[in-house]
Structure 1
C-alpha cells in the first residue's frame, strides 16, 4: 500500500509541477516581466461549454502593440478566458514569445493567474511535507532536523492556501472592463 501511495504522490507531483511551471510563466507575462505590451480589442466572445452551469468563453480579437498602428494588429483567439467580454472591449495585454500568447496585464491579470500558482505551491508543499515528516514523533525531546524541515514546508501550505482563496474571491469580484 505504501508503494501505491508513493506512485500516486509522484504522479500528482509531476502534474502539479507542470501546471506550476505553465501558470508561473502566465503570471510573469501578466505581471509584465517579459513580452510585448499592447492592447487587446475583443471582436466577439462565444460560450463553448455544453452545459448551462459552467461557461467557457473563447474570445476573438486583435492585439495591437504599444506604439503600433492598425496595420500592426495581430488577430488572436483567446481560449477559456473566464469572461464574456462585451464586443469592442479593450484591455491592456502582454504578448508572449509566440504571437498567439496573450495575457491580460495589471492587477486583474495577475490575480487571474495567481490562484493557479498558489494551488500548485500548496499541492507540492503538501506532498513535500508528507514525504519529509518523520513517521513517529518523539514527544520527550527537541524536534528532529527532519521535523523542523517538514514544519517549514508546511508553512508554505499555510501561506499558499489563503493566497489562492483570496485571489479566487478577487476574481469573482472583478468588474468587467
Structure 2
C-alpha cells in the first residue's frame, strides 16, 4: 500500500509541477515581466460548456502591439477566459513568445493567474510535507531535524492557501474591463 501511495504521489507531483511551471510563466506574462505589451480587442466570446451550471468561455479577437497599426494585429483565440466579455471589449494584454499566447496584464490579470500558482504550491508543499515528515513521532523534547524541515515545508501551505482563497475571491468580484 505504501508503494501505491508513493507512485500516486509521484504522478500527482509531476502533473502539478508541470501545471505550476505553465501557471508561473502565465503569471510572469500577466505581470509584464516578458513579452510584447499591447491591447486585446474581443470580437466574440462563446460558452463552450455543455452544462447550464458552469460556464467556460473561449474568446476570439485581435492583439495589437503597442504602437502598432491594424496591419500588425494578430488574431488570437483565448481559451477558458473565465469571463463572457462583451463584443468590442478592449483590455491591456501581453503577448508571449508564441504569437497565440496572450494574457491580460495588470492587477486583475495577476489575480487570475495567482490562484493557479497558489493551488500548485499548496499541492506540492503538502506532498513534500507528507514525504519528509517522520513516520513515528519522537518522544524527546526536541523535534528531529527531519520534523523541523517538514514543518518549514508545511509553512508554504499556510501561506499558499490564503493567497489562493483571496485570489479566488478577487476573480469573483472582478469588474468588467
Specify the TM-score bucket, using the shorter chain as the normaliser: over 0.9
Q: Give the structure 1 partner of residue 5 of structure 2.
A: 5
Q: TM-score normalised to the size of structure 1?
A: 0.99
Q: Give the structure 2 partner of residue 45 of structure 1.
A: 45
Q: Give the structure 1 partner of residue 162 of structure 2.
A: 162
1:90-134 Cα distance to aligned partner (Å, 9 max, x none): 000000001000000000000000000000000000000000000
Q: Give the structure 2 partner of residue 173 of structure 1.
A: 173
Q: Give the structure 1 partner of residue 56 of structure 2.
A: 56
Q: Give the structure 1 partner of residue 129 of structure 2.
A: 129
Q: Give the structure 2 partner of residue 34 of structure 1.
A: 34
**SS of match in other structure, 2:119:** helix
Q: Give the structure 2 partner of residue 72 of structure 1.
A: 72
Moved over 3 A (4+): none
Distance 1:47 1:138 in 2: 55
How far off is 1:138 after superposition? 1.5
Distance 1:60 1:3 in 2: 46
How far off is 1:140 after superposition? 2.6
How far off is 1:141 after superposition? 2.3
Q: Give the structure 2 partner of residue 87 of structure 1.
A: 87
Unmatched segments (≥5 aa) in structure 1: none
Q: Give the structure 2 partner of residue 102 of structure 1.
A: 102
Distance 2:29 2:162 in 1: 23
How far off is 1:40 after superposition? 0.2
**SS of match in other structure, 1:41:** strand
Q: Give the structure 2 partner of residue 111 of structure 1.
A: 111
Unmatched segments (≥5 aa) in structure 2: none
